[in-house]
Structure 1
Amino acid sequence: MHEEKGEGSSTKCQFLRNCGEIPSNLSHCPNLKNLSLKNNLLEGEIPKEFGFHHKLQILSASGNHLTGGIPPLLGSSLSLTVVYLGNNDLTGGIPPFLANSSSLVFVDLSQNSLTGEIPHSFFNSSTLQAINLFENGLTGGIPSFPIIRASPLFFLALSINSLSGSIPPSLGNLSNLLGLYLFENRLEGSIPESLGKIPGLEVLDLSINNLYGRMPPTLYNLSSLAYLGVGANRLFGTLPPDIGVTLQNLQSLVMQKSLFQGHIPASLYNASQIQLLDLSMNSFKGLLSSSVGSLKNLVELNLGENQLQGNVWSVLSSLTNCSFLERLYLHDNKLEGNLPASVGNLSTQLERLVVEGNQISGTIPVEIGNLANLTVLSMDKNLLTGSIPPTIGRLQKLILLGMSGNKFSGPIPSSIGNLTQLNELYMQENELSDNIPASFGDCRNLNILNLSNNALVGPIPKELVALSSLTRALDLSHNILTGSIPMEVGSSINLDCLNVSNNRLSGEIPRTLGTCQHLEYLRMEGNFFQGNIPQSFINLRGLSELDLSRNNLSGRIPEFFGSFSSLQYLNLSFNDLEGEVPKDGVFDNSSETVVVLGNKRLCGGDAKLRLPPCSIQASERNLFKIIIIIIASVIIAIFFLCFLLIRLQLRKRRERSTSVPSQEDKYRIISYTDLLKATDGFSSANLVGTGNSGSVYKGKLGCEEKFVAVKVFNIHQVGALKSFKAECEIIRNVRHSNLVRIITSCSSIDSTGNDFKALIFEYMPNGSLDEWLHPKAQECHRTRTLDLTQRLNIALDVASALCYLHHNVEVPAIHCDLKPSNVLLDNDMTAHVGDFGLSRFLPTSGSTTSKNSASLMGIKGTIGYVAPEYAMGSQISTQGDVYSYGILLLEMLTGMKPTNSMFKDGLNLHKFVNMAFPERAMVILDPQILQNDQSEEFNSNIRNENFGRMQLRRCIISLTRIGLLCSKESPKERPRMRDVADEVHAVKEMLSKVEIIEGGAAVLPE
């Protein structure tokens, strides 16, 4: 430490590469003003004595390993101007005292583990110029800035926290602000227009939040902007045609993974300063102009996952003017044409070239080998033909090479062995032929290789399977490979997946496979393997899927398979296995997880395998069955006449009884006094909720342990008595497991002599669906959430209830007020439809039901859920309930109420979802659905070919489609509820086959 002393001097204490803890006695240095400890190896807590040092002006201790909390009185020094404590391991909250210093100018607490809310004192300071709280665990909302005082703040960074609520419009009062960083939080609502009125704002990053609505036009007129980031939200609309003129200083425009649509304005290509342009994962359409090459300063261009058309030849040729280009993404569009030879003239700095998922045809030009700095080259899923040029081997920095899903033919060039840095290689689904090159053995960093679905011949090179770097997958399936698997396969000890199925491989399964103890998926079916299943397989205890079917294997099934706890699928069918099938572990209840068909000499095992017993001859067992059948037939014949007589008597008795039991026979009698005791005098503590017709209380009847829900009708409210009668009529005549079950009713006189009407229902401990979808602010930052499976189950429960009401009762019943608050959840999260106060029976021909039942008179419903034809005077129908169900389903998927403030000027929830369907269906999804499995996992990125994820995405799209069909404006276009219930059930069956595994990946067992 160097220390200078002198009265009145600018005293400075500085540590140079020190370690250990901060000495507490430093706080006693009488003239210490500047303490610089940054970028050392210091650890431990900050001495609390620094909170009492009144001459300290600068505290710089960033880039250490400091722990504990910030001293609460650190801001008590009236001289403190700069606090740099970023990039440490500090915990706890930010002390409000910290901003109390009248001279504090800079605060940097970034990259710590601070929690709690941002102190309001930070935003009331008249001296603070920079606040950096980036990358912590802060929660709560962003405090508002006072309007009465001009703030000198020019830098505000609150990114990568867990801040919630809306963006305060008062941020627009920060007239000196240059940089505003709010990305990667949980902010909701729309973007305030006031942000576009900050005169000198240069950086605005609001990406990766839950913002929705249209972009404020004021932002597009903010000429000072150099960086505009709003991606990964639920924003929509089109880009203004003059965006390239109004944002003349723009260097970065990031709008990925949103709901923007329309054409890319031509003026954007005139914004010559742009270095980063990311419009990926939207719905932009139209021609991709070759004018994009005018952006000569481009470093990254990402237009992937849109609906852009054009000739890839002209686009790539124009981009040769961009000498700084490092990353180019044009994937998943509708580009066509041939790859030009000028592709080799693209920037020498180009690192990533991604053009997969288009309609590009022709051959790969040999000039591709000029792009010596490429690390990622992805051309999957196009119409490319011809052979793979040997010049591909000149791309020695390649980490990922994707060429799958094309029509490449001929051999794999041996120059592939020059790609020594290669991690991933995808060549599946082509027409490649000839042998697999032994030069693959030189790719020492290869961890995934997929050559499946080609016409490759010859043996598997031992040099390939000897690669110890293979850790993720080796897929050689669906080729014409011959010979045996080399013993060197045991060198791939960390391999997760090996698939050599559907070839012409022969010989015995190598025992060395048993050393690959990390194997989870082993597929060897459809070959000519012979001999026993190796005993060394006892070491493969991590296997999840093993398929050895359609081979010539013999011997017994190893007992140790039964001890594999992770084994979920075992297929040994169509071999020559013999002996008794084990019964433990995976073989217990093995009808779905174990397949042993076509092994004629197997016996025993689980009864569901339907194999002959091993201890009793089959003929003896069949004789025993015949005797039992004869005896049973005699007994049945003796009692048959008696059974007919009894049945006739029961039928006569049923005919004499009424079809619906009287309320006196069906329900117990409950008095007003009983309900008064049950609810503790209808106390507010037991109040569950209130509605238009009355209030609902929780209580216990007598000595019963279970709670009940007591709905007390306010008979002075207009329509309440009618609602009571309607609910009684509906509930007397319907009964379904997904309808709220009534226990009894009470029609009596209360303690003041007034009429008293109440219904007593089964209590639903998990409240209403509305409480789960839209929890109140005091519910601890939405701790209760519903995942996709739960929402799908609820959707099916509600559909089943409506299907019953519409199609399975003698007189169809219409609910008329379906909404989330009327869907109640029991202890098992099973949904029950309740509140039949507005319900009506739909009269049929010859029905004695009151004509008023079908009239719209008295039908109110709830705004946002009521079918649009009701507003035109149409009579009620089952299609009105279908509309309400569609809106409810869309609300469950998006997490947005149909009455959201953004829905105006003709925009509603149905139209909002329809704008995003189907391409952007995952973008508008409620983020809470996938909070444990980041939604990015379910979007098709460069290398996502996991079939399970595709199925999961299909489930989301299918549910969205059902919601859109049900909520169509015309009743004639809506499906029947019976068909809706069937479709939702089909989606549930699809989802039940998808398993979410660690890391968020989804797999679909075959």
Structure 2
Amino acid sequence: MLPPSIFNLSSLIDLYMGENEIQGSLPSNLGMVFPSLQIFFISINQFSGSIPVSLSKASNLIRLEMEGNHLHGKVPPLTNLHKLEWLNLADNHLGSGGIDDLTFLCDLSNATHLELLIMFTNNFWGTLPQCIGNLSSSLKNFHIAQNKILGSIPNEIANLANLDVLVMAENQLSGHIPPGVGKLHKLYKLNLGRNSLSGNLPSSFRNLSQLNELYLEVNKLQGNIPPSLIECQNLRILSLGANIFSGIISQEIVGLLNLCRLSLPQNHFIGSLPENIGILINLEYLDISDNMLFGEIPASLVSCIKFEYLDMHGNFFNGTIPSTLSSLRVLTKLSLSHNNLSGTIPEFLERFVFLESLDLSYNNFEGMLPIKGAFKNATATSVEGNSKLCGGIPEFHLPKCKLQHAKNKGLSLTMKLVLSLVCGILGVIFALTFLYLYCSRRDKKGQAATDSDKFPQVSYQSLLKATNGFSSTNLVGMGSFGSVYKGLLEQGETPVAIKVLNLVCRGAYKSFIAECEAFKNIRHRNLVKVLSVCSGFDYRGHDFKALIYEFMVNGSLEEWLYPIHTIGETNERPRSLTISQRLNIVIDVAMALDYLHHHCETPIVHCDLKPSNILLNEDMVAHVGDFGLARFLPKAAENSSGNQSSSLGIKGTIGYAPPEYGMGHEVWTQGDVYSFGILLLEIFTGKRPTDDMFQGTSNLYSFVKAALPEQVEEVLDPVLVQELNHPNAGRARNRVLIIHSLITVLEIGVACSAELPRERSNICDAVAHMCWIRNKLRANGISE
């Protein structure tokens, strides 16, 4: 809460309180106690209640920013705020549901220097008053998206000649787009999407020569795309999906040479795709799905080498997939389903290493289905509805391909002799090669080998001896790609952890390479330390690869959160973690992530943060391990010869992997931040993100968020609740402080695990906040 004494500062000019956790309501006499106030900034807090009517008395206000609070009710008259330049009321609960919710906009006609008017994500109702045409000609940004505004857009909006951003998306606006919008010559971004607008696009759009982004999707707009749109040569994003547009995709659209995103799905477009669409060389995203387009796929698409997303499903395209598309190697999504395409599925699709979603279903493809690349993943690839396909991996359930001998019947005797001679030579070469490899392996058996000079050499025999022949009694854990044994090397008396890769498992070899690459140049107290590497052959001559780590005597965090009680082992103290220990662990993990993301020469994304990959030493210091899925960021990857990462298709563990990975987003640091947020919530609630209690839309994130702050004890791990209620005088005295600290920690977890990446907290901020909480607890004598 704000201390009352702050309102005694009557000469205050600038007041900044943004991005804190301040609660309570604003005093009714706010405008009178601060008569000289020029800047009032309280964005991103937890203020509630209404905006005081007295605010209009602060007639010197230049900037008024209240975004991201819990304010509600009508906005009071702002008649006296003549000097106002910025007004930001976004992301609150303002509005009363009355027809006069927006009358305060007329009061701003007197603010002749107003430049920014932001009101998105509120409950404003009613219609836009015509007086918006009287707002300052200096207004540059007018953003009222995600409200409940009705009626038509007043044509008087044309008076706002200096607007560069106009966003009215996600309201209930109806009627036609007023021609006056075409007079806003400086518009850079126009977003009227997700309303109920109807009619044709105004021909006056030709005047928007500075327009860069145009969003009109999900309306009831109709007619042809006006040829005059070609005048908007700066247009980069054109989104017209889910309307009633018809006619052909004209040459004028192809003439917008700067387009990087063209979205026209769910309309009534007919005809063929322009043959020269390839001149849009900057195009990265093309969605023309669910229309009535026909003809062949233009071969000129080969020029669009930046394509990442291509969706043409739900049309009448015929012919084959042109071979020229083999150049589109950065595609992440390709959907050609529900068309009339035929021929064989080209093998070049196997080489699209970034392809994560491929839909070729319900066409007339025939012949053998490729088995490499995206075709190895039946979840990411769909080919159903093609009755003449055969082969492929078993998961596709296609019939086996019949061998065709007809082509061989016409071979001449000369050709047969040539083939026999070639086969004979190849056989000799194969035999000599096999003999050489066999001898080489015999020489190398038992000898040390390593994939990096950074690590000392350890032989297979040493590991065999250290683990008593990889005995089950030495087995301490099993993972996706191998088993972990406890061992004692001959060189010392300190036990080590030996991770033996099961190279039969798909991705195991890449996992080994990824860990070697990741550990080459990283050193941090909260990362598991690799002591050595063994890369050679076992006693049978089979490939053998192992990583030797420092041994963590207290095992994994998983074992502490979910201890297994064995019958008869009553002498062993049940494992449980105190509040302070859990806080120390999440801080250790956060510090490791901060180091990986921001302090390595090449930033690293872990990709698989979960309790089983967090190990604890004798002092209960947490260490992040298992870098088998680690990835260098794309920029770094370009400088490391492509050997930097594991399989592109593997991006973590269900429950911990961020939702955007499921939608094809590339690996990035924000993905680790999401996993950290889920891990933090799990540590303090004792509930796995995959717990059976989470059904439908319910999940660990919503479970905790709904309970904060009042019901925090209802979501805490029962072990922690028991600790809070322990009859300890010192702890009872500080109970309020501990609960408040737990609320703050869980809020950090919620902030990190937000579904939308832009809403997630920064890992650096999370570290700072949690360290502050720990220091505060220690200052009050709460350490364990």
Do residues 359 (structure 1) and 148 (structure 2) align?
yes
Find the aligned partners of 2:388 and 2:340 in 1 and give their Cα distance.
13
SS at match of 2:82: coil
SS at match of 1:335: coil
Contact kept, 8 Å, 2:554 with 2:620, in 1: the verdict is: no
Find the aligned partners of 2:594 and 2:230 in 1 and give their Cα distance.
53
Contact kept, 8 Å, 1:552 with 1:576, in 2: the verdict is: yes
2:85 corresponds in structure 1 to: 299
1:460 corresponds in structure 2 to: 249
Find the aligned partners of 2:734 and 2:210 in 1 and give their Cα distance.
50
Q: Could you tell me which amino acid in structure 1 is paired with residue 146 of structure 2?
A: G
2:52 corresponds in structure 1 to: 265
Deviation, 1:507, is 0.9
1:229 corresponds in structure 2 to: 16
Deviation, 1:223, is 2.6
Deviation, 1:292, is 1.9
SS at match of 1:478: coil
Q: Could you tell me which amino acid in structure 1 is paired with residue 316 of structure 2?
A: F
Q: Could you tell me which amino acid in structure 1 is paired with residue 45 of structure 2?
A: S
Do residues 554 (structure 1) and 342 (structure 2) align?
yes
1:209-250 Cα shifts (integer Å, max 9, x gaps): xxxxx3343333323322222212333332222222222221
1:705-757 Cα shifts (integer Å, max 9, x gaps): 9857599xxxxxxxxxxxxxxxxxxxxxxx9896446899999xxxxxxxxx8
Q: Could you tell me which amino acid in structure 2 is paired with residue 464 of structure 1?
A: I
Q: Could you tell me which amino acid in structure 2 is paired with residue 247 of structure 1?
A: F
Contact kept, 8 Å, 2:613 with 2:624, in 1: the verdict is: no
Q: Could you tell me which amino acid in structure 2 is paired with residue 370 of structure 1?
A: N
Find the aligned partners of 1:325 and 1:250 in 2 and give their Cα distance.
17
- Match for residue 404 of structure 1 among 193, 201, 205: 193
Find the aligned partners of 2:306 and 2:622 in 1 and give their Cα distance.
46
Q: Could you tell me which amino acid in structure 2 is paired with residue 525 of structure 1?
A: H
1:376 corresponds in structure 2 to: 165
1:792-807 maps to which residues of 2 (within 5 A)?
A: 793-794=610-611
Q: Could you tell me which amino acid in structure 1 is paired with residue 191 of structure 2?
A: G
1:545 corresponds in structure 2 to: 333
Find the aligned partners of 1:346 and 1:879 in 2 and give their Cα distance.
49
Contact kept, 8 Å, 2:213 with 2:235, in 1: the verdict is: yes
1:434-462 Cα shifts (integer Å, max 9, x gaps): 11111111111111111000111111121
1:197-212 maps to which residues of 2 (within 5 A)?
A: none
Deviation, 1:282, is 1.0
The runs of 5 or more residues in structure 1 that have no matched partner are 1-213, 618-665, 668-676, 681-687, 689-703, 712-734, 748-756, 799-820, 836-863, 870-877, 889-897, 915-920, 940-948, 953-1006
SS at match of 1:490: helix
Worse-superposed segment, 785-794 or 245-254: 785-794
SS at match of 2:26: coil
Find the aligned partners of 1:832 and 1:312 in 2 and give their Cα distance.
41
Deviation, 1:785, is 9.8
- Match for residue 533 of structure 1 among 321, 332, 340: 321
Deviation, 1:879, is 9.8
- Match for residue 29 of structure 2 among 242, 247, 271: 242
The TM-score with structure 1 as length reference comes to: 0.47
Deviation, 1:776, is 12
Deviation, 1:314, is 0.9
Deviation, 1:773, is 2.6
Find the aligned partners of 1:237 and 1:220 in 2 and give their Cα distance.
14
Find the aligned partners of 2:6 and 2:742 in 1 and give their Cα distance.
27
1:196-219 Cα shifts (integer Å, max 9, x gaps): xxxxxxxxxxxxxxxxxx334333
Q: Alpha carbons of 1:377 and 1:902: their partners in 2 closer, same or farther (altered >3 Å)? A: farther
Contact kept, 8 Å, 1:525 with 1:550, in 2: the verdict is: yes
2:584 corresponds in structure 1 to: 771
Do residues 346 (structure 1) and 135 (structure 2) align?
yes
Q: Alpha carbons of 1:419 and 1:899: their partners in 2 closer, same or farther (altered >3 Å)? A: farther
1:505 corresponds in structure 2 to: 293
- Match for residue 758 of structure 2 among 925, 935, 938: 938
Deviation, 1:535, is 1.4
Deviation, 1:487, is 2.0
Find the aligned partners of 2:372 and 2:392 in 1 and give their Cα distance.
9
Deviation, 1:295, is 1.0
Q: Alpha carbons of 1:276 and 1:506: their partners in 2 closer, same or farther (altered >3 Å)? A: same
1:73-152 maps to which residues of 2 (within 5 A)?
A: none
> What is the aligned residue count?
530
- Match for residue 384 of structure 2 among 587, 591, 597: 597
Deviation, 1:567, is 0.8
Percent identical pairs in the alignment equals 36
Deviation, 1:760, is 11
Find the aligned partners of 2:4 and 2:187 in 1 and give their Cα distance.
43
1:81 corresponds in structure 2 to: none
Find the aligned partners of 1:465 and 1:526 in 2 and give their Cα distance.
21
Contact kept, 8 Å, 2:7 with 2:33, in 1: the verdict is: yes
Q: Alpha carbons of 1:913 and 1:452: their partners in 2 closer, same or farther (altered >3 Å)? A: farther
Contact kept, 8 Å, 2:275 with 2:300, in 1: the verdict is: yes
Deviation, 1:615, is 2.8
1:572 corresponds in structure 2 to: 360
Do residues 215 (structure 1) and 2 (structure 2) align?
yes
1:491 corresponds in structure 2 to: 279
Contact kept, 8 Å, 2:63 with 2:85, in 1: the verdict is: yes
Q: Could you tell me which amino acid in structure 2 is paired with residue 342 of structure 1?
A: C
Do residues 255 (structure 1) and 75 (structure 2) align?
no
1:586 corresponds in structure 2 to: 374
Q: Alpha carbons of 1:936 and 1:242: their partners in 2 closer, same or farther (altered >3 Å)? A: farther
Deviation, 1:276, is 0.4
Find the aligned partners of 2:343 and 2:192 in 1 and give their Cα distance.
42
Q: Alpha carbons of 1:782 and 1:770: their partners in 2 closer, same or farther (altered >3 Å)? A: farther
Contact kept, 8 Å, 2:588 with 2:623, in 1: the verdict is: no
Find the aligned partners of 2:174 and 2:565 in 1 and give their Cα distance.
69
SS at match of 1:404: coil
The runs of 5 or more residues in structure 2 that have no matched partner are 405-472, 475-491, 496-524, 526-547, 599-603, 628-652, 654-678, 684-707, 725-729, 763-784
Find the aligned partners of 1:758 and 1:481 in 2 and give their Cα distance.
72
1:778-831 Cα shifts (integer Å, max 9, x gaps): x8997599999999844x999xxxxxxxxxxxxxxxxxxxxxx99988855999
Find the aligned partners of 2:589 and 2:229 in 1 and give their Cα distance.
59
- Match for residue 284 of structure 1 among 52, 59, 71: 71
1:638-670 Cα shifts (integer Å, max 9, x gaps): xxxxxxxxxxxxxxxxxxxxxxxxxxxx99xxx
Find the aligned partners of 1:385 and 1:885 in 2 and give their Cα distance.
54
Q: Alpha carbons of 1:449 and 1:577: their partners in 2 closer, same or farther (altered >3 Å)? A: same
Q: Could you tell me which amino acid in structure 2 is paired with residue 319 of structure 1?
A: L
Q: Could you tell me which amino acid in structure 2 is paired with residue 571 of structure 1?
A: D
Find the aligned partners of 2:227 and 2:723 in 1 and give their Cα distance.
59
Contact kept, 8 Å, 1:738 with 1:797, in 2: the verdict is: no
SS at match of 1:513: helix
Q: Alpha carbons of 1:594 and 1:823: their partners in 2 closer, same or farther (altered >3 Å)? A: same
- Match for residue 396 of structure 2 among 609, 619, 623: 609
Q: Could you tell me which amino acid in structure 2 is paired with residue 387 of structure 1?
A: H
Find the aligned partners of 1:611 and 1:780 in 2 and give their Cα distance.
47
| RCO comparison, higher one (Cα < 8 Å, 6+) | 2
- Larger-gyration structure (1/2): 1
Find the aligned partners of 2:2 and 2:608 in 1 and give their Cα distance.
30
SS at match of 2:229: helix
Find the aligned partners of 1:292 and 1:357 in 2 and give their Cα distance.
23
Contact kept, 8 Å, 1:361 with 1:384, in 2: the verdict is: yes
- Match for residue 437 of structure 1 among 226, 246, 261: 226
Q: Could you tell me which amino acid in structure 2 is paired with residue 217 of structure 1?
A: P
Q: Alpha carbons of 1:492 and 1:547: their partners in 2 closer, same or farther (altered >3 Å)? A: same
SS at match of 2:190: strand
Deviation, 1:299, is 0.2
Find the aligned partners of 1:338 and 1:233 in 2 and give their Cα distance.
34
Q: Could you tell me which amino acid in structure 1 is paired with residue 583 of structure 2?
A: D
SS at match of 2:22: strand
SS at match of 1:294: coil
SS at match of 1:530: strand
